């Protein structure tokens, strides 16, 4: 089968497509014939040599795919066997940039009704990340005020819609007027242009000095001080990315005075049981929102697998709004 290989660490120039042996499913795993795979920030970090795959995971990049189940591993239970022939999405620790992939059968969900098989490729990783962090870690509920950084990216565009469906008041950051309009369409109540506006000042103005109940942050060190100052008493910040660096000072006095919580999480390295629980919760709570139209897939652009380097160049440019996909055909 064809699969993507990173020839060392670097930019898109280290990416190539090569022929490798087909993966073989073990007991409890299914083999998926991939229709499409999505790009994620983790793929870029892995390419740069900053985010190696977890122990035992495929070196092939790609954390989510859509496709058709063509086999189950010998000794698999009935639940895995019954997936054969089904159109599904799968949450992976790696291996998605390929024509076939094996995955724990518990990390698979059916494609939601009304969603195309190709578009579905950009669904499960972002849905699992957003739901597990907003509903699980940050415990967001109706009436909360939430700040989402990067409101038109893959994570952000899904988070805005999910928060709107939950009944939260949503603030988000964007880098252009065009992206601001899209963010409002997706569910943002307030949009802050981080290039032209002071983030901390705007949060205080919008919240009338109270701050926000929760923050979903993909930036990291660069915004840490501002984020903490922007939280209301009892506020929760979940850090899921380090685009703005990994080291910064923390004002512990402020955290004590306001009873703040900082939660840092990754999805990729969680164990199989934890991922299975997250996938099950997503199927129960998020899939109905997709099937009712309350959340829609925000696919920006698709590239054939052979043009994966161009897809990474586009992703690196920051011009995308929503998900960037690779198709196998």
Burial profile 192-227: b = 16 or more Cβ within 10 angstroms, e = fewer: beeeeeebbebbbebbeeebbbbbbbbbbeebbeeb
Predicted TM-score (pTM) of the model is 0.92
**Closest CA relative to residue 123, chosen from 105, 110, 133:** 110
Q: What is the pLDDT of residue 153?
A: 87
pLDDT of residue 76: 94
Report the C-alpha gap between 218 and 239 in whole angstroms: 6
Instruction: Kindly report the backbone phi and psi dihedral angles of residue 100, in degrees, each rounded to the nearest multiple of 5, phi listed first.
Output: -145, 150
**pLDDT for the residue numbered 154:** 86
Residues contacting 264, CB < 8 A, separation 6+: 238, 239, 240
Q: How is residue 167 written in tokens?
A: 């009944």
CA 173 → CA 148, 164, 295, distances in Å? 7, 16, 20
Closest CA to 325 of 295, 288, 300: 300
List the one residue out of 311, 305, 325, 329 whose CA is nearest residue 4: 305
Give the integer Cα–Cα distance in Å for 127 and 282: 7
Cα gap 70→57, rounded to integer Å = 21
Choose among 85, 96, 86: nearest CA to 123: 96
Confidence at residue 3, expressed as pLDDT on a 0 to 100 scale: 98
- How big is the CA angle at 108 (ends 183 and 80), to the nearest 5 degrees? 170
H-only helix segments in the chain: 41-47, 78-81, 124-131, 154-166, 177-186, 199-206, 224-230, 252-258, 272-285, 287-291, 308-317
Give first-to-last CA distance, the chain, whole Å: 12
Q: Distance of CA 240 to CAs 51, 52, 204, Å? A: 13, 16, 23
Residue 113 has what pLDDT?
96
Give me the phi and psi of 260, to 5 degrees please: -90, 155
Q: So what's the pLDDT on residue 204?
A: 98
pLDDT given for residue 243 in this prediction: 87
d(CA 153, CA 41): 10
Q: What is the pLDDT along the chain (329 residues), one digit of tens a residue?
A: 999 999 999 999 999 999 999 999 999 999 999 999 999 999 999 999 999 999 999 999 999 999 999 999 999 999 999 999 999 999 999 999 999 999 999 999 999 999 999 999 999 999 999 999 999 999 999 999 999 999 998 899 999 999 999 999 999 999 999 999 999 999 999 999 999 999 999 999 999 999 999 999 999 999 999 999 999 999 999 999 888 889 999 999 999 999 999 999 999 989 999 999 999 999 999 999 999 999 998 899 999 999 999 999 999 998 888 899 999 98
What is the phi-psi region of residue 244: left when phi exceeds 0, alpha when psi lies from -120 to 50, beta otherwise?
alpha
Q: What pLDDT sits at residue 87? A: 98
Name residue 145's beta-bridge partners. 169
């Amino acid at each position: 089968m064809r699969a993507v290989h990173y020839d060392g660490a670097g930019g898109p120039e280290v990416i190539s497509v090569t022929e490798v042996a087909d993966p073989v499913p073990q007991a409890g795993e299914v083999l998926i014939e991939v229709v499409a795979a999505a790009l994620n920030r983790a793929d870029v970090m892995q390419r740069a040599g900053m985010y190696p795959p977890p122990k035992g995971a495929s070196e092939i990049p790609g954390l989510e795919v859509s496709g058709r189940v063509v086999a189950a591993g010998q000794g698999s239970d009935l639940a895995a066997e019954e997936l054969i022939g089904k159109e599904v999405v799968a949450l992976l620790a790696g291996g998605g940039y390929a024509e076939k992939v094996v995955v724990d059968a518990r990390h698979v969900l059916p494609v939601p009704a009304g969603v195309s098989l190709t578009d579905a490729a950009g669904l499960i990783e972002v849905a699992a990340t957003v739901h597990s962090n907003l509903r699980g870690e940050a415990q967001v509920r109706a009436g909360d005020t939430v700040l989402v950084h990067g409101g038109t990216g893959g994570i952000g565009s899904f988070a805005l819609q999910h928060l709107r469906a939950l009944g939260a008041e949503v603030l988000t950051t964007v880098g252009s007027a065009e992206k601001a309009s899209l963010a409002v369409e997706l569910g943002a109540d307030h949009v802050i242009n981080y290039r032209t506006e002071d983030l901390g000042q705007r949060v205080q103005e919008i919240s009338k000095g109270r701050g926000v109940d929760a923050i979903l942050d993909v930036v990291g060190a660069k915004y840490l001080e501002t984020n903490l100052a922007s939280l209301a008493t009892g506020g929760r910040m979940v850090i899921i990315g380090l685009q703005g660096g990994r080291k910064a000072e923390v004002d512990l006095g402020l955290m004590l005075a306001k009873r703040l919580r900082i939660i840092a999480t990754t999805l990729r390295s969680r164990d199989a049981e934890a991922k299975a629980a997250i996938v099950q919760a997503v199927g129960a709570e998020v899939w109905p929102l997709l099937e009712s139209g309350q959340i829609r897939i925000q696919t920006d652009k698709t590239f054939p697998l052979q043009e994966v380097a161009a897809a990474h160049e586009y992703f690196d440019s920051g011009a995308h709004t929503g998900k960037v996909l690779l198709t196998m055909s």
